[in-house]
């Protein structure tokens, strides 16, 4: 995908770039890719497996899954830049300055924004922000490595 290609991606396109599957695929759609930035979304429904235990009667999306959703958005961005994305994985190497600002509950649409802020060989640095209705739910800085599946 070129820098000028900002076409939306649906779930089948996402599955071509990420190895994640149910119940751990946490990106439902890519709204835009522009250069080193991606905007994607996770539609949070009452049917999410994690709501069975977090928390019965007061369902809240675990913060760590918001972090994972941001990581997956970053993975889509990185894989969309590879000639043979099926040969690689993106693995987190660090998370810094992670803050949770608002609860995410069933019915929310989690907007995921990730920007690559640096690159060095197979490593990328990124910052990410998740929002619901324009309110920040989670923000972080992270680093990841592109590794060959073999």
Bond from prior residue into 52 cis (ω within 30 degrees of 0): no
- Identify the DSSP state of 102: S
Cβ(70)–Cβ(128) below 8 Å: yes
10, 41, 80, 38: CA torsion to nearest 10: 140
Cβ(114)–Cβ(81) below 8 Å: no
Query: Which residues are designated catalytic?
Result: 54
Backbone phi and psi for residue 13, each to the nearest 5 degrees, phi listed first: -70, -40
């Amino acid at each position: 995908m070129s820098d000028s290609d900002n076409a939306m991606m649906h779930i089948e396109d996402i599955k071509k770039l990420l190895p994640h599957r149910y119940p751990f695929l946490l990106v439902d759609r890519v709204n835009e890719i522009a250069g080193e930035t991606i905007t994607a979304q996770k539609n949070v429904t009452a049917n999410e497996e994690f709501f069975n235990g977090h928390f019965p009667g007061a369902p809240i999306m675990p913060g760590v899954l918001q972090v994972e959703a941001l990581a997956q958005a970053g993975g889509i961005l990185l894989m969309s830049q590879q000639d043979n994305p099926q040969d690689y994985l993106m693995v987190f190497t660090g998370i810094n300055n992670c803050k949770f600002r608002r609860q995410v509950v069933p019915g929310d649409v989690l907007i995921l924004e990730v920007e690559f802020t640096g690159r060095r060989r197979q490593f990328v640095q990124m910052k990410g922000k998740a929002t619901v209705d324009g309110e920040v739910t989670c923000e972080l800085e992270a680093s990841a490595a592109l590794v060959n599946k073999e």
